[in-house]
Amino acid sequence: MSKLGGLSKKAALFNTLSSTSDTPALLLDAGNQLFKQPALPTAPAEAGAARVRARGIVLANQTMGLQFAAIGTHDLAAGPNFLKEIAGNGFTWLSLNLSNRYNDGLLFPGYILRQAGQLTVAVLALTNHDSATPADGSSYHIRPWREVLPAALAQLRQRAHLIILLSNYPLGENREIARTFPQIGLIFQSGHAMGNLPPIAVGNTLISQTETRGRYMGLLEIDWQGRGSWRQPGKSALSAYDRAGSSFRQRFIPLSATMENDPAIDALVRQTEKQAQALTR
């Protein structure tokens, strides 16, 4: 089987998509970006190499235009302080429920607002509280989504046209979130390998995710007409009444070996690998 993925191909694809159309493009990462497992390897050299790769991944993604990402449980392998260390320079980690254990204060911003053409887009992120139990003595905990979403969505009611949730919860929980909060237009999920999941409509919300390990990118093109049900042109015969509402087209793009590489990101990846391998020799 030929190899797929790679950050330099992801960068080249995003450059192409951004430069070949006037339609605004937003790059999203739904979480579990940095580490293979929710804990670091026990061997110190391996743990050091994983940290070096994580820094390189954030730098590469930031360079290609990723401005924020959700914190998945795997991203916490080296602890929240490590995430703070490697953020900055226009890159923000998001989690609406990763909180200080003692006063419930958020460790990171819970959401971010972005202007895309005339649309104000709010992007929120949730870390799965069920799949991560912080070690005894750690200074943080992860609150259930039911405790944090209502207040955040109330704050955003008058501030955003479109609300996007990056969720580290499994599909069943995301369906429940969509049913409970129909004002969320889109959910992109992480953490529960199911292969590429084309958009599923749950009430007013579309839920989607890609295959793991960066082998595919999802491209969702939407024509936003405000909150309401979604339709996918060409999928079914629609009455004039049904044609109201927002519409979408979606596809998964394999990052195949024949795709071009972004030279700057390619150089950064090679340098990072060299540094990581030097630690484990």
Partner 1 sequence: MTTRKTARHKGSLSIVFALFCILGLALLPQRASAQMLRLVYNNDNLGELSPCG
Please, which of residues 175-204 interact with partner 1 by CB under 8 A? 186, 188-191, 193
**210-249 binders of partner 1 (CB under 8 A):** 210, 212-226
Q: Which stretch binds partner 1 (CB under 8 A): 1-9, 95-103, 125-133, 137-145?
A: 1-9
Residues 105, 141, 143: CA angle, nearest 5 degrees: 75
Q: What residues numbered 86-145 form the site for partner 1, per CB under 8 A?
A: 116-121
Of 5, 95, 107, 111, the residue at the interface with partner 1 (CB under 8 A) is: 5
Of the candidates 28, 46, 22, the residue with the CA atom closest to the CA atom of residue 218: 28
Window contacting partner 1 (CB under 8 A); options: 6-14, 87-95, 129-137, 228-236: 6-14
Angle, CA 175 vertex, CA 172 and CA 178 arms, to 5°: 155
265 phi, psi to nearest 5 deg: -70, -35
Minimum distance of partner 1 from residue 279's CB (angstroms): 14
Total interface residues for partner 1 by CB under 8 A = 73
For residue 67, state whether it binds partner 1 (rule: CB under 8 A). no
Shortest Cβ distance from residue 30 to partner 1 (Å)? 4
Ramachandran bin of 257, using left for φ above 0, alpha for ψ from -120 to 50, beta for the remaining angles: alpha
Residue 148 burial by CB count (10 A; 0-12/13-18/19+): exposed, middle or buried?
Answer: buried
Residue 238 Cα distances to 178, 185, 204, 234, 251, angstroms: 24, 21, 17, 9, 21
Find, among 278, 273, 280, the residue nearest to 54 by Cα: 273
The interface with partner 1 within residues 44-63 (CB under 8 A) comprises 50, 53-54, 56-57, 60
CA 24 from centroid of its chain's CA atoms? 18
Per CB under 8 A, the segment of 24-32, 78-86, 173-181, 236-244 that binds partner 1 is 24-32
**Piece in contact with partner 1 (CB under 8 A), picked from 8-16, 84-92, 147-155, 227-235:** 8-16
| CB closer to partner 1, 148 vs 187 | 187
| CA–CA gap between residue 62 and residue 57 (Å, rounded) | 8
Q: Least distance (Å) from partner 1 to the CB of residue 48? A: 13
Q: Shortest gap between Cβ of 128 and partner 1 (angstroms)? A: 12
